[in-house]
Amino acid sequence: MGKIHQLKDSRGRNERQGMQDFPCLEGITYLDSAASSQTPNQVLEKMQHYYQHDRANVHRGAYALSSRATEAYEEARQKVADFLGTEAEQCVFTRGTTDGLNLLARTLPGQKVALSVMEHHSNLVPWQQRPGVELLWIEMRQDGTLDPASLDEVLNQKPDILTLTWVSNVLGTINPIGEIAERCRAQGTILVVDAAQGVPHLPTDVNQLGCHFLVFSGHKMLGPTGIGVLWGERKQLDKLPPYQFGGSMVGLVTREKTTFADLPQRLEAGTPPIAEAIGLGAAIDYLQGHGMAQVREHEKNMVAYALEKLRSIPELRIAGPQDPEKQGGVISFQLGNVHPHDVATILDRRNVCLRAGHHCCQPLLRRLTDMWTPGARAPLALLRASFYLYNGRQDVDRLVDGLQEARKVFDRG
């Protein structure tokens, strides 16, 4: 095991000093960033500045205050674009990943939709609701990676759309989007990437990834809730019909008909989440202060350390690849047959925040149950520890101490 990487921010402060930026972390061990990350003061200050000094609607007023609000909002869009290596017009603000996926599930044409067994409910249920849809499932192997034979079989059926998570929020598995994108492009399948767990943690260049669409949420990347992004290849975005109708997304409106605005406004009906977009822009500044390569490196080190520590606990079973190179900062596990909610309650008494349950991935948990305990009727539940740039080794140590206590309480020590 190598020495853990000491994450430094743009001001050269180390990871511990940087903790001061996150008041909510005071006295707690936060291991649930895959559900929602913490928000640094720098983001809160930017949002407060908007409310205190630039508060007006965007794209509407003829007065300076509104121009400032519009400038700040569009500047945030440019930050998103730069972060993804793309153009601002291709970045549509949404309410989050779920909203972006619903938009695509409602507007993309095609009946045959392929997806994997590791999808979050947000990347399954909206597609399931499409009238007449035929879902094609890509299975996974024991190690929580996509089954190449199943992928081949599904792609051979030439689906209209393949919608796939970049990083699994349960297994941590990083899917090979680049390779899959090449295959999709060669056969005319539209590739949608659920990047809710990807963009916040991995350096992202949408052109290198090669997908047609990509969606993510601000609150999982140090930003506020209520904001997300849908990125699309220009040619594909142009084909999308409006998803919602109302103010801001129109050109000329008469009693009889309406023409629609250009991208991205065409897909942003109504008053957008202005302060939230500005907050997301500030979160991007914060992440870039560290550098995404550094963020990734830090998480790899966290995962390596956590895997080593967790493996020393008897009866603890880990799901997923168990390889820091192949997974993001997420580790899910089971502690013998102690129910994850009981373990999470004991950890909570030690101020260790951990998620327990099905993690919005019931088909995946069903599949894991069939692999781990064939014939079991009740599906598994799992504990999940997820890391971000503000976590350190001491957080893993506290987790492990808590798990040891749980074993004793439930008489497994």
Ligand X SMILES: Cc1ncc(COP(=O)(O)O)c(C=O)c1O
Check residue 194 for interaction with ligand X (CB under 6 A). Answer: yes
Phi then psi for 169, rounded to 5 degrees? Answer: -75, -5
One residue of 77, 79, 120, 201 binding ligand X per CB under 6 A: 120
> Alpha-carbon distance 295 to 306, whole Å?
16
At position 279, the amino acid (one-letter code) is: G
Residue 271 makes CB contacts below 8 A (sequence gap 6+) with 57, 58, 247, 248
DSSP bridge partners of 14: 8
204: contact with ligand X by CB under 6 A: no
The H or E element that residue 215 is part of is strand 213-217
Instruction: At 263, list the tokens.
Output: 């991208």
Active site includes 24? no
Q: Is 96 in the site for ligand X (CB under 6 A)?
A: yes
∠ CA 109-110-114, rounded to 5°: 125
| Separation of alpha carbons 70 and 365, rounded Å | 44
Q: Which is nearer to ligand X, 123 or 391 (CB)?
A: 123
Degrees to nearest 5, angle at CA 47 with 36 and 351: 35
> In the bound complex, what is the minimum distance in angstroms from residue 43's beta carbon to ligand X?
16
- Paired residues of 112 in beta bridges: 134
Point out the catalytic residue in the list 91, 184, 211, 360: 360
Binding mask of the shown chain, residues 350 to 369, with x at each position contacting ligand X by CB under 6 A: ----------x---------
Q: How many binding residues for ligand X (CB under 6 A)? A: 15
Q: How many CA atoms lie within 13 A of 377 on its CB side?
A: 0
Residue number with CB closer to ligand X (86 or 123):
123
Return the amino acid letter for 106: R
Which residues from 142-181 bind ligand X, rule CB under 6 A? Answer: 165, 169
Shorter beta-carbon distance to ligand X: residue 313 or 360: 360
Q: Shortest gap between Cβ of 50 and ligand X (angstroms)?
A: 22
233 binds ligand X (CB under 6 A): no
Q: What is the DSSP string of 314-356?
A: TTEEE-S---TTTB-SEEEEEETTS-HHHHHHHHHHTTEE-EE
DSSP code of 3?
Answer: P
* The binder of ligand X chosen from 33, 116, 123, 301 (CB under 6 A): 123
Q: Near ligand X by CB under 6 A, which window of 80-88, 92-100, 251-259, 372-380?
A: 92-100
Among 38, 122, 163, 391, binds ligand X (CB under 6 A): 122
Q: How far is the CB of 197 from ligand X (least distance, A)?
A: 5
Which stretch in 194-202, 273-281, 373-381, 383-391 sits in contact with ligand X by CB under 6 A? 194-202
Which of 115, 400 has the CB closer to ligand X? 115
Q: Does 197 bind ligand X (CB under 6 A)?
A: yes
217 part of the interface to ligand X, by CB under 6 A: yes
Helix (H) or strand (E) holding 93: strand 91-94
d(CA 107, CA 64): 37
Q: Verify binding: residue 98, ligand X, rule CB under 6 A.
A: yes
Between 39 and 197, name the residue whose CB sits nearer to ligand X.
Answer: 197
**Residues with active-site annotation:** 360
* Interaction site with ligand X (CB under 6 A): 34-35, 96-98, 120, 122-123, 165, 169, 194, 196-197, 217, 360
